[in-house]
Structure 1
Amino acid sequence: MAEVFRFSKKGDQGQTSLLSGERVSKGSLRPETYGTLDEASSALGLAKALGADEKVREMIRTVQEDLVTLGAELACEDPARSQWRVEQQQIDRLERWIEELQQEVPLPRHFILPGANPVSAALDLARTIVRRAERCAARARQAGLEIRSEVQAYLNRLADFLFTLARFTEQDR
């Protein structure tokens, strides 16, 4: 028989646990940032479910895996001791993907109104959520929390990638 989920009720008073076990407010910057990444991953899941092609689905899945890693890193009070870290190679991969996609799709030189199709709309939603996570991470750094520069760089590049990927999915190929 499947194990039944039991409610811990530990979060009922507005507290959550970091991976170290330390209890913090759910409204504090660290949980706000990794919670925002979870929202972005859900929007990416929506893009996959709405019928993205195989190439796009594979890219999205890889990014979702990165977001799990990044969320775990942010859920550690001391990133230097975390076994989960976003590294330069993941940033480099995003840059490579952006360059590859831009060879196939010229980027517009004007503002975009999201919603050309369901997949691109979900990708644009994910992009704006990532930008919010980027701002949360910047506020966390300003408040003195240990947020590595690779985290900021990854989030910035990810938003650029999602913009490019959304434009890619709008093209008739």
Structure 2
Amino acid sequence: MPNTYTQIYLHIIFATKGRDIKISSNVRDEIEKYICGIFNNKKQKVLAIYANPDHLHIFFSYKNLQITIPELVKTTKIESSNFINDNRLCLGKFNWQEGYGAFSYSKSQKDKVVNYVLNQEEHHKKKSFKEEYSALLKAFEIEFKDEYLFEFYD
């Protein structure tokens, strides 16, 4: 569409099914590269990605408004699960949990969020995923019920 310009920064988070520890450090890079490829094929620009053992953070510039956020997340989950299972990158069957969080940021916050995503390993030495996710929901004033969050066992 002519004369349509956007600049939207989104941070998406989703977890492995059952919050199982499935993404080992020796396959993390391969999984991240594959997911970046999915985003690239959907005309999105990944600014930072980090695959924790039990959840994933993606910070990207949402440019192609031809795909909705739910469609992008669904496609990413399906295609990356298939890739992980087809290439036997983890023990047992791999699946992502239902649901996700999506948070928007301004351009002035871009560097801070990139740094946050890329430093997940250090971050989770101080804060659990549940604490992190709940804090984001509260900071963005998103109403939620604990029973509808990801499956948390910590």
The structure carrying a bigger strand percent of its residues is 2
Structure having greater relative contact order (Cα 8 Å, sep ≥ 6): 2
* Structure showing the higher helix proportion among its residues: 1
Q: Verify same fold: TM over 0.5.
A: no
Which structure has the larger Rg? 1
If the length of structure 2 is used for normalisation, what is the TM-score?
A: 0.28
